[in-house]
Amino acid sequence: MYLYNSATHKKEEFKTHTPGRVEMYTCGPTVYHFAHIGNLRSYIMEDVLEKYLRFAGYDVNRVMNITDVGHLSSDADTGEDKMLKGAKRENKTVLDIAKFYTDAFFDDCRKLNIKTPDVVQPATGCVEEYIKIITRLMDTGYAYFAGGNVYFDTSRLSRYYIFNDHDEDDLAVGVREGVEEDANKRNKNDFVLWFTKSKFEDQALKWDSPWGVGYPGWHIECSGISMKYNGEFLDLHCGGVDNAFPHHTNEIAQSESYLGHPWCPHWFHVHHLNDPAGKMSKSKGEFLTVSLLEKKGYDPLAYRWFCLQSHYRKTLLFTWENLDNAAAAYNKLLNRIASLKPEDSDVDQTVFEEYKAKFIQQVGNDLNTSMAVTAVFDALKAKTGDATRLAIIGEFDKVLSLSLLEKAAAIREKAAQATTAGGGDYVVTGEGDPAIDALVLQRYEAKKAKNFAEADRIRDELKAQGVEITDIKGGASWKRV
C-alpha cells in the first residue's frame, strides 16, 4: 500500500514496525458538543483506512482517545476549557456533558457505519501516564515549571515544525487573532503539559501531581494514551488536517523527547469539509449534524457515499444540492444492485479473485475511495453471473461500509411485496428494474389512499433517478430519460 505522509509531504510505501501489524491511533472528539458532519468526514475516512488495512491482510490495533478535559479554546493554551464551557452552557456537570456527547458521537458513528476502535480511552482515565511522561521530561530538561504550570521547552529541539517549515515569525502567538501571549513561556511555541495555579481556578476536574493540584494539557493526553495501548512504536497517526499544528506537532515533540527515539513515521490527515462560507464549524451558521440530515430526510449513508466520492486530501464542498446529487446517485446504485438476481448462478471464484485483487491495488494507491466507488460500478458491468457480481460488491463493501447488499435486499423485498399488493389490477411496465417497479406501485398505493404528499415524494424521488412515469389505463409505464 502507498499512502501520502504528511510528515514527508510525499506518497510512500506504507511499512510497519512489526511486519503485518499496524499500531494505529486516531485523535478522537472533544465531547463538549455534538460532532458536526465536517468532524465526521475525518472519522469516515479513517474508518475506511482501517477497514482497508484489515481487508489487505494487516492485523490492526486502533486506539482512539475521548477528550473530556484539558482542551482549551485556543491554540496557545489560553481561553476556557471546552468541557467546562459545555457544562456551563447546559448547566450540567462536566462528567454529565462528557457522557452525553460521547454517547451521541458513537450513535452518529453507528449511523454512518463507522466501526468502534479496538480501544476507546477517555483522557481522564490516564492521568498517571501523563504524570509519568511529564516527570521524565522535567528530569531531562525538556520541561520547566513557571507561573504555576509545567511547559514543554521547544528550544531544546533541533526541529520543531514537522509538517511545515515555517518562519518563526509566521506563528508568533501575539499576531494570531484572539490569542494572548503567555508571559510564563520561555519561547512563544512552548506549550503546557500540566496546569496547576492558573486563571482556571474553577476547573471542575483536578488531580494531585508533583507540581500541585491541577489537570493535564490537551497535547500530552494523546501521547500518554497511545503509548499505553499502542506501545513505544506507533505506525500510523490519523486526524483532521487542522490538528497537524499545533496538536500533532506537539505530540511528536513530547513523545520523542520522552522516548529518546522516533515515535511515529506515518501521518494521515483528512482535509476540511467546507460550506460555501468557508470551513465548517460549530460556531457559525446552521450546525450540521447527522441528526439534522435525518430530519431533512437523508439517509446518513448517503453522506458517507458523498464523502467517498472525493479524495481525503481534497477539500470537499458541502451544499444541499451536492448532497442531493450524492443521495440520488446512492439510491440509483442501490436500485441497480437490487435488480440483480442472487440465485442466478454459482459464484465464479476466478472472476471474484480477479476483481478483489484489482480493488486492493486501486484503493491501496493513497486510499483512493473514488476508485473504490468506480470498482463497484465495474462489478455491476462484469461479464459474469449476478451471484458473482453480488459477491464482488459484498466484498468491496467490507471496506466501503455502505450497506449495499443489505439495502438492496430490502428494496428487492419491498418490490416483491408491492407487486403482490398490486394484485394484478394495476400493471407496471418499464425496463425490467424491480426497484423502480416497486416505487411506481407505491406511488399508486399512496394515490389510492389519497396520500398525495407521499405520492409526490415518490414521483420526485423517481425523477431524481432520471425516471419518467406515464400513467396509462390500468397502470403506468416508465422509462429512463
Residues 285 and 380 occupy one common structural domain: yes
Residues 266 and 284 occupy one common structural domain: no
The number of residues in the chain equals 481
Residue 245 lies in a domain: yes
Instruction: State pLDDT tens for residues 36-49.
Output: 999 999 999 999 99
Residues 397 and 451 occupy one common structural domain: no
Residues 315 and 446 occupy one common structural domain: no
Alpha-carbon span 367 to 360, nearest angstrom: 10
What pLDDT does residue 171 have? 39
Residues 330 and 287 occupy one common structural domain: yes
Residues 400 and 464 occupy one common structural domain: no
Instruction: State pLDDT tens for residues 283-301.
Output: 655 679 999 999 999 999 9
Residue 86 lies in a domain: yes
Looking at this protein, which amino acid is placed at residue 28?
G
Residue 175 lies in a domain: no
Residues 95 and 243 occupy one common structural domain: yes
Residue 302 lies in a domain: yes
Neighbours of 245 (CB within 10 A): 18
CATH number, domain of 297, equals 1.20.120
Report how many domains make up the chain. Answer: 3
Instruction: State pLDDT tens for residues 192-250.
Output: 999 986 655 667 789 999 999 999 999 999 999 999 999 999 999 999 999 999 999 99
Alpha-carbon span 48 to 44, nearest angstrom: 6
The mean of the pLDDT values for the chain is 90
What pLDDT does residue 179 have? 45
Residues 380 and 286 occupy one common structural domain: yes
Residue 167 lies in a domain: no
Are residues 480 and 336 in contact, defined by beta-carbon separation less than 8 angstroms?
no
Residues 338 and 242 occupy one common structural domain: no
Global pTM reads: 0.86
Residues 375 and 461 occupy one common structural domain: no
Instruction: Give the domain-ending residue among 228, 252, 270.
Output: 270
Residues 6+ apart with CB under 8 A from 473: none
CA dihedral 317, 323, 327, 333 (to 10 degrees): -20
Residue 289 lies in a domain: yes
Spans of the chain, pLDDT less than 50: 166-179
DSSP 36: P
Which domain covers residue 462, as residue numbers? Answer: 423-480
What pLDDT does residue 84 have? 84
